Chain A
Amino acid sequence: MKSLFALALAVFLTTAASAQMLINGAGATFPYPIYSKWFNEYAKVDPSVRFNYQSIGSGGGQKQILAETVDFGASDGPMSDENLAKAPRTLWHIPTVAGADVISYNLPGNPKLRLDGPTVANIFLGKITKWNDPAISAPNSGVSLPDQDIVVVHRSDGSGTTYIFTDYLSNVSSEWKEKVGKGTSVSWPVGLGGKGNEGVSGQIRQVPGALGYIELAYAKQNQLPYADMKNAAGNYITPSIETVTAALATATIPEDFRFSMVNPPGEKAYPIAGTTWLLVYQQQKDAAKGRKLVEFLKWAYTEGEKMATTLDYAPLPDNVQERVLKRIAQISY
Chain B
Amino acid sequence: MASPSGDPASRVATKAPPSSGARWPDISFRWLALLAALTTAALIVLVGWELYRGSRQAIAQFGLNFLGSSAWDPVTDKYGAWPFIYGTLVSSLIALVIAVPLGVAAALYLTEMAPLQLRQPIVTIIEMLAAVPSVIFGLWGIFVLIPWLRDHLFVWLKHTLGFLPLFQGPIYGVSMLAGGIIIAIMILPIITSVSREILRSVPDLQREAAYALGATHWEVIRIAVLSYARRGLFGAAVLGLGRALGETMAVTMVIGNRPVISASLFAPSYTLASVIANEFTEATTDMYLNALFELGLVLLVVTILVNIVAQLMLRTLSGGASGKVN
Find the A residue at minimum CB distance from B253: A195
CB within 8 A of B257: which of A77, A151, A159, A193?
A193
Inter-chain contact B172/A59, CB cutoff 8 Å: no
**B26 close to chain A: CB less than 8 A:** no
Inter-chain contact B172/A79, CB cutoff 8 Å: no
**B268 close to chain A: CB less than 8 A:** yes
Interface string of B134-157 (1 = CB under 8 A from A): 000000001100110010000000
**B281 close to chain A: CB less than 8 A:** yes
Inter-chain contact B282/A158, CB cutoff 8 Å: yes
CB within 8 A of B282: which of A82, A157, A182, A192?
A157
Min Cβ gap B267→A in Å is 10
Residues of B within 8 A of A (CB): 71-76, 142-143, 146-147, 150, 170, 172-174, 252-253, 256-258, 268, 270, 274, 277-285, 289
Given A193-B258, A202-B142, A157:B281 Cβ within 8 A: yes
Given A181-B76, A202-B143, A158:B278 Cβ within 8 A: yes
Inter-chain contact A58/B282, CB cutoff 8 Å: yes
Interface string of A61-82 (1 = CB under 8 A from B): 0100000000000011101101
Inter-chain contact B172/A56, CB cutoff 8 Å: no
Q: Tell me which residues across on chain B come within 8 A of A192, comparing CB atoms.
A: 172, 174, 256-258, 268
Inter-chain contact B253/A199, CB cutoff 8 Å: yes
Min Cβ gap B269→A in Å is 10
Min Cβ gap B172→A in Å is 6
**A180 close to chain B: CB less than 8 A:** yes
Given A192-B172, A193-B257, A199-B142, A157:B279 Cβ within 8 A: yes
CB within 8 A of B75: which of A182, A203, A207?
A182
Q: Tell me which residues across on chain B come within 8 A of A202, comparing CB atoms.
A: 142-143
- Give bound CA distance, A191 to B72, whole Å: 15
**A60 close to chain B: CB less than 8 A:** yes
Inter-chain contact A195/B146, CB cutoff 8 Å: no
Q: Can you give 5 A-B contacts (C-beta < 8 A)?
A: A59-B282, A157-B278, A182-B75, A193-B268, A194-B257
Interface size class of A (residues with CB under 8 A): 35 or more
**A238 close to chain B: CB less than 8 A:** no
Q: Tell me which residues across on chain B come within 8 A of A62, comparing CB atoms.
A: 284
**A271 close to chain B: CB less than 8 A:** no
Min Cβ gap A66→B in Å is 10
Q: Tell me which residues across on chain A come within 8 A of B150, comparing CB atoms.
A: 206-207
Q: Tell me which residues across on chain A come within 8 A of B170, comparing CB atoms.
A: 149
Q: Tell me which residues across on chain B come within 8 A of A284, comparing CB atoms.
A: none
Q: Is the interface of A mostly helix, strand, loop or mixed?
A: loop
B71, B268, B278 interface centre (most CB from chain A within 10 Å):
B278
Q: Tell me which residues across on chain B come within 8 A of A79, comparing CB atoms.
A: 284
Given A183-B75, A195-B257, A83:B285 Cβ within 8 A: yes
Inter-chain contact B284/A184, CB cutoff 8 Å: yes
CB within 8 A of A59: which of B75, B174, B258, B280?
B280
Min Cβ gap A298→B in Å is 29
Q: Tell me which residues across on chain B come within 8 A of A195, comparing CB atoms.
A: 252-253, 257, 278
CB within 8 A of A82: which of B143, B172, B285?
B285
- Give bound CA distance, A159 to B74, whole Å: 13
**A14 close to chain B: CB less than 8 A:** no
Q: Tell me which residues across on chain B come within 8 A of A207, comparing CB atoms.
A: 150, 172-173
Given A182-B75, A183-B75, A206-B147, A158:B285 Cβ within 8 A: no
**A185 close to chain B: CB less than 8 A:** yes
Find the A residue at minimum CB distance from B175: A192
Inter-chain contact A158/B279, CB cutoff 8 Å: yes
Find the A residue at minimum CB distance from B282: A158
Q: Tell me which residues across on chain B come within 8 A of A60, comparing CB atoms.
A: 281
Which 7 A-B pairs have CB atoms at the shortest separation, nearest pair first? A57-B281, A158-B282, A193-B257, A156-B257, A181-B75, A187-B73, A184-B282
Inter-chain contact B284/A206, CB cutoff 8 Å: no
Find the B residue at minimum CB distance from A190: B258
